[in-house]
Amino acid sequence: MALREIRELGDPILEKACREVKEVTPRIRELITDMLETMYEANGVGLAAPQVGVLRRICVVDVGDENIHDGEPFILINPVIIEQSGSQTGEEGCLSLPGKAGKVTRPEKVKIRAFDENMEEYEAEAEGLLARAFCHELDHLDGHMYTEIVEGPIHDVEHEEENDEENGEETDEEE
Ligand code: ZN
């Protein structure tokens, strides 16, 4: 296990499309383990392989909800969105643009199909934050960042949201 360097916006590798994974080799397994470790260390909810400099169609996602996927991270190999509905507009950040966030509209619900670390195919339904995370990470696999679709300015984020009441601010989202 090892932490990997997270590539930041401006690195050309983040603009490239990734290749499909045909087989989970020991090297890919190690990559997945490192991606999880790197994501957790950076307090992220998702990470895509190109963000650590590897152009393969692999993401990891963990929104930190014990009720989702038994609290286990999602390992997504060759993921595709097969259904989507609704829309949500909210703040989104990216480990490749640390300390920043901006308003992005995504589907409210998505259904994805992917392979796990044993190359077993599975489907998962997601809504809210998890749906947003899936869309965000899948975009990375085609070389896209949220900065391309952000609505309005990208701003600095406060380190901790101290005051729960301030969440009321979210009501000015345009749905
Ligand atoms: Zn990102």
Read off the pLDDT of each residue in 56-81 and give the average, rounded to a whole number: 95
Residues above pLDDT 90, as percent of the chain: 85
Does the pLDDT at position 15 exceed 70? yes
Question: How far apart are the CA of 47 and the centre of ligand 1, in A?
Answer: 6
Question: How far apart are the CA of 167 and the centre of ligand 1, in A?
Answer: 23
Q: Which of 137, 158, 162, 175 is catalytic?
A: 137
Does the pLDDT at position 160 exceed 80? no
Mean pLDDT, the chain, whole residue set: 92
- 161 — pLDDT class (breaks 50, 70, 90): low
Kindly list the structural domains of the chain, giving each domain's residue range(s) and its CATH number in brackets, ordered by start.
12-161 (3.90.45.10)
Does the pLDDT at position 167 exceed 80? no
Give pLDDT, residue 67: 87
3-state SS string for the chain? CCCCCCCCCCCHHHHCCCECCCCCCHHHHHHHHHHHHHHHHCCCCEEEHHHHCCCECEEEECCCCCCCHHHCCEEEEEEEEEEEECCEEEEECCCCCCCEEEEEEECCEEEEEEECCCCCEEEEEEEHHHHHHHHHHHHHHCCCCHHHCCEEEEEECCCCCCCHHHHHHHHHCCC
Give pLDDT, residue 174: 46
Give pLDDT, residue 1: 73
Give pLDDT, residue 153: 96
Active site residue 169: no
Question: How far apart are the CA of 144 and the centre of ligand 1, in A?
Answer: 9
| Residue 163 or residue 147, greater confidence | 147
Question: How far apart are the CA of 98 and the centre of ligand 1, in A?
Answer: 10
Give pLDDT, residue 159: 67
The answer to whether the CB of 76 falls within 8 A of the CB of 137 is yes
Question: How far apart are the CA of 107 and the centre of ligand 1, in A?
Answer: 17
Looking up tokens 């307090």 gives 43
Question: How far apart are the CA of 92 and the centre of ligand 1, in A?
Answer: 9
Does the pLDDT at position 168 exceed 50? no
| Residue 90 or residue 170, greater confidence | 90
